[in-house]
A and B are shown apart, each in its own frame.
Chain A
Amino acid sequence: MGAFKLHAPTASNAPAALAIGKLSLFSFRNYTEVRIHCDAAPIVLVGANGGGKTNLLEAISLLAPGRGLRRALLADLQNRTLSSEPWGVAADLDTPDGPLVIGTGRAPCSEGTQDHRLVHINGQPARSANALAEPIALTWITPEMDRLVGEGATARRKFLDRLVYSFDPAHGARVRRYDKAMRERLRLLREGRAEAVWLAGLESDMAQTAVAIAAARLHMIRHLRTVLAESDDPFPRPLIAARGTAEDQLTDHPALQVEDTLRAAFARARSDDAQHGTCAVGAHRSDLRITHRAKNCPAESCSTGEQKALLIALMLAYVRLLTIQRDMAPLFLLDDIAAHLDSCRRAALFDALRALGCQAWLTGTDQDDFAALAPYAQFFRVTDGQVTLL
């Protein structure tokens, strides 16, 4: 992750926003074909459950690299009545650098080829979806993320790694490398006939990669803390920390020393790991700890509403960080966001979104929940795969 100066955008120097002007979906989930023309302002999608609101956000999330906000398989995104027509999503976007056209979709099935996704940028085929990382900045907050706080460390760690990845595309490769070395080591331990030298080689690779992963996580935490400290939104301020063997030691020990410590820990844990079939220490055991700062209370002990508010505060800080780093407000998708928020916090969220200057896409079942946004936002009703401007 490159170093960058942190300063909050002010009204006069607020960066331009990435905004969708036209969105087209074809054969995607419950949409056979739909086209939406929208303003740069916040977009509110309302409608009964099952109408396709989240599907629409999922389509937008596929304008970035990765598998979208549900991490679905390409085949699962296919409209069932148009199963022979590969799905596609296209968007005309306004960016600080001018207009941008993104098209992505499932490649037509052909014999002997794996299911894969095609990406076009301004009409030109891109080598992979990773090419979208440069022009597109987007993030989301979904009801599934509400469980982050109460769930185990794995979900929180993956969430943190996803945040890091947006800033540091090499992070994904590091995590995959570490996981692969760990799987190799576990296989050897399970088989019980590996030479110690072979295990030591894998553990050495794991230690080096674990330190690089931990350093990138700590880097992200430092920046988020800075932005959170400068934040003046009324949400409870979360105190965040990345905790783990490498993360804890990296704060006051040199990286090479932490590598040695990890190598020794891996070697010591061999017999236990062989017995339990897991790795007891390493970058895969780290956690993102979230604390309600004012109450000095771990987030998991807070009420559901407070947990949601802490998560929103964290994501608002992340969007600010993305805005500063990219010099462009990202697309921000907020699925079913009104749930668990009282009217005061809803109003505060809407104020924060306006201040961020990003094109936010919000969904909900009740239009009245978004009344405070009425003067600024565009409202669409979503019903059974049809989208109507209200």
Chain B
Amino acid sequence: MLSPLDHLARQLARLPGIGPRSARRMVLHMLKKREGVMYPLIDSMTRAAEQVKECTTCGNLGGSDPCELCTDRTRDPTLLCVVESVADLWAMERARVFRGRYHVLGGTLSALDGVRPADLRIDKLLTRANDAGVKEVILALNATVEGQTTAHYLAERLVPIGVSVTRLAHGLPVGGELDHLDDGTLAAALLARRQAG
């Protein structure tokens, strides 16, 4: 029978990015500061577990359904940005450059991990692209095998609907130096070149 302390440490160690050593440190820190850290954390976790919902429109997480982004009238409803996860949506929002709407797929296609088209929010995406006056779908997926395979799959399914399908450019990072780029990235940057003047 595990002690409550070991049980908590083991639960924390199951979280992404947390190892057993970090988990034990967190437990000790919380127990040392029960009033200031532990009880407020319990309260926050309870409220998040009870109140945070998945938006049935876009798949984002928020306090309401539809979420704040889907109901924001200042956002352009003709632009739809497809991301793999809510973490990627947050990354896009941090950049503050996109003012359209989002669609969270909930993963990427992976035969090895058993993720098939039916496991992702693809049908919902096709419905949104068809119905909601969407003019452009931006595929903001990772440059991994799974991300690019999924982008290819989505493009093939979206083009017949008649929307413009684009994807994020691959190439020279901001502040990057050509001399330090690998050949593949340089080739991608060259292919994605733009008119300079």
Contacts and interface: CB of A to CB of B under 8 A. Distances in A.
A200 B110 contact: no
B152 A201 contact: yes
Contacts of A112: 13, 19-20
A112 B74 CA distance: 48
Interface stretch (B39-47, B53-61, B88-96, B182-190): B182-190
B182 A200 contact: no
Contacts of B153: 195, 197-198, 201
Contact of A215 (B111, B157, B183): B183
Interface residues of B, number: 25
Nearest to A213: B184
A184 B19 CA distance: 30
Given A112-B20, A181-B145, A200 B156 contact: yes
A76 interface: no
Contacts of A188: 111
B149 A113 contact: no
B182 A184 contact: no
Contacts of B137: none
A191 B148 contact: no
Contacts of B110: 184
A183 B146 CA distance: 12
Given A112-B19, A170-B184, A216-B183, A201 B111 contact: no
Interface of A: 1-2, 110-113, 168, 170, 174, 177, 180-181, 183-185, 187-188, 191, 194-195, 197-198, 200-202, 204-205, 212, 215-216, 255
Interface string B95-118: 000000000000001111000010
Contacts of B187: 212, 255
Given A110-B20, A187-B111, A212 B184 contact: yes
Interface string B13-56: 10000011100000000000000000000000000000000000
Contact of B145 (A1, A205, A255): A205
Contacts of A191: 111
A111 B184 contact: no
Contacts of A174: 184
Interface in B3-21: 13, 19-21
Contacts of A195: 117, 153
Contacts of B21: 110
23 contacts: A112-B19, A170-B183, A170-B184, A177-B145, A184-B111, A184-B112, A184-B146, A185-B111, A187-B111, A191-B111, A197-B153, A198-B109, A198-B117, A198-B153, A200-B152, A201-B148, A201-B151, A201-B153, A212-B184, A212-B187, A215-B183, A216-B183, A255-B187
Interface of B: 13, 19-21, 109-112, 117, 144-146, 148-153, 156-157, 179, 182-184, 187
**Which 4 residue pairs are nearest across A and B when measured between Cβ atoms?**
A201-B152, A170-B182, A201-B149, A187-B111
Q: Interface residues of B: mostly helix, strand, loop or mixed?
A: helix
B158 to A, nearest CB: 11
Q: Interface residues of A: mostly helix, strand, loop or mixed?
A: helix
Contacts of B146: 184
Contacts of B144: 177
A86 B22 CA distance: 22
B20 A181 contact: no
B178 to A, nearest CB: 11
B182 A168 contact: yes
A188 B109 CA distance: 11
A188 B148 CA distance: 16
A187 B112 contact: yes
A177 to B, nearest CB: 6
B150 A201 contact: yes
A188 B153 CA distance: 14
A205 B13 contact: no
A215 B144 CA distance: 20
B148 A194 contact: no
Nearest to A169: B182
B126 to A, nearest CB: 13
A262 B105 CA distance: 30
Given A112-B20, A184-B112, A187-B111, A198 B149 contact: yes
Nearest to B185: A170
Given A204-B148, A205-B149, 8 more contacts: A2-B179, A111-B20, A113-B20, A170-B182, A187-B111, A200-B152, A201-B153, A205-B152
A113 B21 CA distance: 10
A2 to B, nearest CB: 8
Find the residue from A2, A185, A198 having the highest chain B CB count within 10 A. A198
A194 B110 CA distance: 11
A194 B153 CA distance: 12
Contacts of A2: 179
A197 B156 contact: yes
Contact of A202 (B19, B145, B156, B183): B145
Find the residue from B146, B151, B152, B156 having the highest chain A CB count within 10 A. B152
A168 B183 CA distance: 9
B112 A183 contact: yes
Contacts of B109: 198, 201
Nearest to B23: A112
A198 B152 CA distance: 8
A2 B149 CA distance: 29
